[in-house]
Amino acid sequence: MNTLLKEITHLFFPQSCVVCGKKLLPTEEGVCLSCLFKLPKTNNFKDPENQVEILLAGRFPFERAASFCVFSRGGMLQPIIHQLKYSGKKDLGIALGRLYGADLSGSDFLKNVDAIVPVPLHPKKEKKRGYNQSEMIARGLSDVTGLPVSKGNLIRKISNPTQTKKSKIQRWENVKGIFAVENPSAFVSKHLLLVDDVITTGSTLEACADALLECPDIRISVAAIGEAL
């Protein structure tokens, strides 16, 4: 019944690919299969010394770090992330997470990971947006990998201004001390996969890690959909 309703809705209200503008098939969500196939995937989860790991090296201890795609101005991923964050297209986050999860499944990258932790939004911002885009990505990852999503323990206690157009130093000052762990005992001796939408300078992930590392014997890995160039 749901499939039939979806097909009828698509017939009268056809949607277009957010990347190329091509009319979507009823089975396609937000992005056509052609554009999904052309996404600039990094496959850097296979490389223990990839650019994400180099970016984060020495800033906090982590097991592994990787990104799904290259994020560049005017590139294919940019309109997808924009629609996900600002146009209510939360299904795009789930779809991207599933695609990334399919790549990561069975690899050493997820070895011994206990749970997926999305970078949190402040409650006011999440209420305004209607969802947390990083949580949608985490849900997609969970759908494919079977790893549970831990939401609500890592929190954003301060509603900071957007990171857009800030320098590297300004980005770090903007997120310093804004995250906290509500119940540290829940994360004791856990290996957590910290998930974000796009890594630019790594300041947000570093601030999250600072809060998480207050939990005894914790290990952190990092996964993002985009790696900004």
- Predicted pLDDT of residue 15: 87
The pLDDT confidence band at residue 12, using thresholds 50, 70 and 90, is very low
What mean pLDDT is reported for the chain? Answer: 90
What are the extents of the domains in the chain? 15-228
Task: Answer yes or no: pTM beyond 0.85.
Answer: yes
Residue 176 burial (CB < 10 Å; 0-12/13-18/19+)?
Answer: middle
CATH 3.40.50.2020 correct for 15-228: yes
pLDDT of residue 175: 76
* Tokens of residue 110, six digits: 């997820």
Return phi, psi of residue 17, to 5°: -60, 130
Q: What is the C-alpha radius of gyration for the chain, rounded to an integer number of angstroms? A: 18
pLDDT in tens, 74-111: 999 999 999 999 999 999 999 999 999 999 998 999 99
- Is there a contact between 203 and 173 (Cβ–Cβ < 8 Å)? no
84: three-class secondary structure by DSSP: helix
Q: Tell me whether residue 51 is exposed, middle or buried, using C-beta atoms within 10 angstroms of its C-beta: 0 to 12, 13 to 18, 19 or more.
A: middle
Could you tell me if residue 20 is left (phi over 0), alpha (psi between -120 and 50 degrees) or otherwise beta? alpha
CB 192 within 8 A of CB 209: no
Say how far apart CA 90 and CA 121 lie, in whole Å: 14
